[in-house]
Structure 1
Amino acid sequence: MTALAGLLVLVSLAALLWQRQHTLLTYFQQEEYDNTRFFTAWQNVRLFDLRATATIVVALVVIAAGAPFVGVKLALAAALAGIMLIERRYRFKKPLAMTERAKRLLYLSFALTLVLALLTVVHPLWAIVALQLAPVTLVLANMALKPLQTRVNEGYTDQAKAKLARLDPVRIGITGSFGKTTVKHMLAEILEASGSVFYSPGSINTVLGHTRHIRQRLQWSHKYFIAEMGAYGIGSIKRLCDFIHPTYGIVTAIGDAHTERFGSIEAIAQAKSELAEEACLAGGTVVVNIDVMQYEPFQRLKKIYDLRMITVGAEGSDVVVDAQETDGASWRISLHSKLGLIPDVTYDLPLLGAHNVTNSALAVTLSLVIDPEIADQIPYFTKTIAQVPHRLQVLDTPGSALILDDAYNSNEQGFMSAVASMDKLAKKRGGRRILVTPGIAELGLEHDRVHARLGEFCSDRCDTVYVINPSRIPSFAETIDADKVTVVEVPSFAAARAAIAKDLKQKDVVLYENDLPDLLEEKRLL
């Protein structure tokens, strides 16, 4: 009977470790299999075991006190199985994608933890060691599999390069601290007036992400290929350019998004300028937001390449933008180039937010640089530009409150633009202005300063603010003027939605501003 009880404990422990590796792998995948960032998440989200370890310690203490050995082991087996079942019910905003790489990591890391678990036959404390070292085995498995993964990735990338060279579409890169995905969608819709456009869905912006979509989806019929380019450090965009070889580009903005990753906004500017330099070196043209010209790398490139780097924005730009808000939810926009770089054009934009004026102007400008013959068609295409999901998307259901879904946004400028839009629409409807936000991520040393500015900004433009996980953004919650605004602190987006549903009125406007990943929104109790 004693042997059977011990076997049941071992089986329950193995089942828990199998589930634990699934849980940890979900976070590891969200951190893009980066070992260092995963260990940071391990600390921040508390991915170390508490419940099972405490249960095992209690069982050992009870046994030492003279309790029946078999009975305690049976109870321990049942408790470990119960903890496993609880963990299986965890839900994630971004669930684990069981790719071939994920499977390899799961099987190898589980095998390593299982070896540790089997040592419980020598001493029961090995069970605790196995539980606590589960995150370490995942990192060790990732390190062991890295050479294989590198070969696999290189094989796929070589296939994508060959296909891209063979089909040879006009290649366009888009980068920036924010606005990349929105501009990509705008440009794709407008360029359809000139020819078929291929672009990766969502926010795919890495070499491997583009590799998969090029291999699976790029066709001979595609005249244009638009590649969104994300930067994870100096040289990231250069590597993307070496892979895609863009002859045209757009730089949307330089901002403090991802300052934590880069260390300074000057480093961000240097990274984003890599697209401008590569496109110009290839004899092409890059269109940039005039605001980026305050940074030295862009000033240097402008001196070298002159009008092959076209600035867009306020008076003094190569292409001047004049925008008038028409009804609070759309714009009449005119573009004019004194140097005749593009035909003058006036168009309507049915999108909220002042930042979308610049986004559309960048897309329209590059479209006209590539194919000036479509100038007459621009007004028809911009009228029907679709809202990009979760980017200040208007969800208007008859008989219900107006919802503004800006859940993907993560920058100060876009945050303020969205709040201003909510303010205008709520005043027009005569309802309350309700903001739901967890703040912005990856701001580094600017975290408190940016959130303090946002708190001040919201104080005059909101009636109620639901602050998600306020311990992460105390400067935001504390700066909001409590005499003007009702501040409600909630642990998660789900809790905010549930609270709002109880008191929502038809005339209200609710803005969901940013939605952080599982890694940042809440902590787990493992």
Structure 2
Amino acid sequence: MVPAALIIKIIFLLQAAGLVTVWLYWIQTKEYRLDRFTVFLKNPDGIRELLVIPTLIKFFIFAVGFVFNPFLLLYLVEILLLAIYFVIQILKRKLRKPVFTKRVVRICLISLVFTFTTLFLYQTEYWVRFFLSELTLLVGPLVGIYVTGISVKNTLEREKKTAKDILEKFSPTVIAVTGSYGKTTTKDFITQILSSKYIVLSTFKNQNTHFGIVRRIISDLKKNHKFFVVEIGAYKKDEIRKIAEVLKPDVAVITGLEPQHLELFGSFENLKLAKFELVESLGEKGLAFFNITNPEVTTLQNLARRLGKNIKTYTYALNNKGRLDATSHIERIDSDGATFKITIDDETKEIRTNLYSKRLIENLTGAILVARRFGVEWARIREVCRKLDLPDGTLNVFKTKSGLTIIDDSYNSTPHGFEAAIELLSQKEGKKKLVATTGIIELGDQSYVIHKKLGELLDAVCDLVILRNKEFITAFKDGMRDPTKIRLITDSKKIINLIDKNTNSKSIVLIEGKLPWVVDHYRKI
């Protein structure tokens, strides 16, 4: 017979493997940053996804059980239930798994050493071993992040030097894009328009971390690239400045400013100063483009003028009557896209585009201005604008086989982006309109105000709102005249079931924020 002790250890290892796998998935998703991981751990999504409650229950059982020993039998029940849960998740292919990079494998090995030592080698009371082993499930990955971080930091510095040497050797014009929203689409539009005349390299999708940027340069930048268009993201001050020291950008584009990642930046003022680091990094005769559709960006433009450098500043906006370097006014939006007029250097042109959203045309205005400053002819611009490519999950509109219209805005969720998606939903004709959303995380003390405003906008457009994150339910309801429109559902399968129950071929569903299983479901049917 198999000893009972061995069976218990196998059950423990099954649930331990599941827990570590889920933790590693989210650690990797948060870019191995403990600051981002900690913020996620505090919100309801993080508490649910990281199984915080079951973990706390285990430690509560130990606390009581060491005084009242029979109570420890409940621990066996819980780890058995967790093991069954993870086996079911695996069989249903729903277990969140990290990409097994070298770093993830190393963190796994460090966690395994910790757990194996306490469970099998450490000689102490039986239950104490399990208690210590449970601690290692939490401590092991965190220690792994720190230990592997040392070699990662050394690798990054080495690769930054290599990337810097390559840039100096080939000398492309570096166009860097940053902002709280609109970075990826603006970067993509600039790339697509410039590519109609020049050989251009750009970063992939939202490849905006230091590693992503330098590795793109090292692997793909060639002598014949005239331009390198790069998106730069940040969560704290000095992060843009550090990558800008490598890039030495010739052009800076500020797409917009709004509260985002405030729990990491500390304040909105810190966020603005962090984005302005890109403009500060420009050399003499650098070009800085500012989207002053967003009033907060005007403050950065004023700061740029006071830098004391010979920087040329340009402004652009949508529906602005002021005298700017580029202004666009939408003539009409229909089922195939939009027609708008853009004025640059007192010259007005009519442009037809496949874009539906005013906010995307706002980003396109900046991209056209940049392209014109580098000599791209109007004929080329017109041709590209007719068939622009959008990143996956950015206001992508498609129909299911049953005729249900889906607006997929799951790529990212910001206040500006959410409002743009609601605006697009309002423009679409549909018998019934639904929104499934996660809400927006990392907004700090601005969260309630922003979600209340979104609730007001949703109330005017939607018949039903499905919210996955209970953290925002009060704010949404306070913004809605009819709070019965909103339902709180945390399970993706139940979200899909509710959508199916309340829609038909004449309905429209907006998926806002990261709901990958929901999006995948409707793309397959």
Counterpart code for 2:173: V
Q: Which string of whole-angstrom CA distances, capped at 9 and with x for unpartnered residues, describes residues 1-43 of structure 1? A: 79x4334434443454344322221122122212344344445
Structure 2 partner of 1:96: 98
Tell me which of 285, 288, 302 is aligned to 1:286. Answer: 288
Structure 2 partner of 1:29: 28
Alignment of 1:156-235 (within 5 A): 156-235=159-238
User: Would the aligned equivalents of 2:22 and 2:97 in 1 still touch at CA under 8 Å?
Assistant: no
Identify unmatched segments of 5+ residues in structure 1: 519-526
Once residues 82 and 94 of structure 1 are traced to their aligned partners in structure 2, the CA distance between those partners, rounded to angstroms, is: 16
User: Would the aligned equivalents of 2:328 and 2:341 in 1 still touch at CA under 8 Å?
Assistant: yes
Structure 2 partner of 1:352: 356
Tell me which of 87, 108, 112 is aligned to 2:114. Answer: 112
Question: Aligned in 2, Cα 1:134/1:360: closer, same or farther, shift over 3 Å?
Answer: same
Q: 1:73 Cα deviation (Å)?
A: 12
Structure 2 partner of 1:309: 313
Note if 1:423 corresponds to 2:426.
Answer: yes
User: Would the aligned equivalents of 2:175 and 2:227 in 1 still touch at CA under 8 Å?
Assistant: yes
Once residues 50 and 146 of structure 1 are traced to their aligned partners in structure 2, the CA distance between those partners, rounded to angstroms, is: 28
User: Would the aligned equivalents of 2:209 and 2:232 in 1 still touch at CA under 8 Å?
Assistant: yes
Note if 1:380 corresponds to 2:383.
Answer: yes
Structure 2 partner of 1:523: none
Q: Which string of whole-angstrom CA distances, capped at 9 and with x for unpartnered residues, describes residues 345-384 of structure 1? A: 43112112111121000011001112x2423311111011
Once residues 412 and 264 of structure 2 are traced to their aligned partners in structure 1, the CA distance between those partners, rounded to angstroms, is: 17
Tell me which of 394, 398, 412 is aligned to 2:397. Answer: 394
Counterpart code for 2:117: V
Q: Which string of whole-angstrom CA distances, capped at 9 and with x for unpartnered residues, describes residues 103-140 of structure 1? A: 11111122112222236642122202221342222212
User: Would the aligned equivalents of 1:196 and 1:223 in 2 still touch at CA under 8 Å?
Assistant: yes
Once residues 77 and 511 of structure 1 are traced to their aligned partners in structure 2, the CA distance between those partners, rounded to angstroms, is: 38
Q: 1:285 Cα deviation (Å)?
A: 0.9
CA RMSD of aligned residues (A): 3.3
Alignment of 1:510-521 (within 5 A): 510-515=509-514
Structure 2 partner of 1:502: 501
Once residues 380 and 73 of structure 1 are traced to their aligned partners in structure 2, the CA distance between those partners, rounded to angstroms, is: 66
Once residues 77 and 446 of structure 2 are traced to their aligned partners in structure 1, the CA distance between those partners, rounded to angstroms, is: 51
Question: Aligned in 2, Cα 1:131/1:91: closer, same or farther, shift over 3 Å?
Answer: farther
SS of the counterpart of 1:326? Answer: strand
Q: Which moved more, 1:118-127 or 1:400-409?
A: 118-127
Question: Aligned in 2, Cα 1:476/1:275: closer, same or farther, shift over 3 Å?
Answer: same
User: Would the aligned equivalents of 1:493 and 1:515 in 2 still touch at CA under 8 Å?
Assistant: no
Counterpart code for 2:373: V
Structure 1 partner of 2:474: 474
Q: Which moved more, 1:74-83 or 1:120-129?
A: 74-83
Q: TM-score under structure 2 normalisation?
A: 0.86
Question: Aligned in 2, Cα 1:13/1:312: closer, same or farther, shift over 3 Å?
Answer: same
Question: Aligned in 2, Cα 1:292/1:237: closer, same or farther, shift over 3 Å?
Answer: farther
Tell me which of 364, 369, 379 is aligned to 1:365. Answer: 369
Q: Which moved more, 1:216-225 or 1:200-209?
A: 216-225
Note if 1:332 corresponds to 2:339.
Answer: yes
Q: 1:155 Cα deviation (Å)?
A: 2.6
Q: 1:264 Cα deviation (Å)?
A: 2.3
Once residues 149 and 344 of structure 1 are traced to their aligned partners in structure 2, the CA distance between those partners, rounded to angstroms, is: 51
Higher relative contact order (CA 8 A, sep 6+): 1
Q: 1:329 Cα deviation (Å)?
A: 5.3
SS of the counterpart of 2:334? Answer: coil
Structure 2 partner of 1:524: none
SS of the counterpart of 1:254? Answer: coil
Q: 1:396 Cα deviation (Å)?
A: 3.0
User: Would the aligned equivalents of 1:52 and 1:83 in 2 still touch at CA under 8 Å?
Assistant: no
Counterpart code for 2:350: T
Q: Which string of whole-angstrom CA distances, capped at 9 and with x for unpartnered residues, describes residues 132-187 of structure 1? A: 34222221222233322222222333333333333332211010100001111111
SS of the counterpart of 2:406? Answer: strand
Once residues 433 and 85 of structure 2 are traced to their aligned partners in structure 1, the CA distance between those partners, rounded to angstroms, is: 42
Counterpart code for 1:255: E
Q: 1:82 Cα deviation (Å)?
A: 4.2
Structure 2 partner of 1:408: 411
Structure 2 partner of 1:486: 485
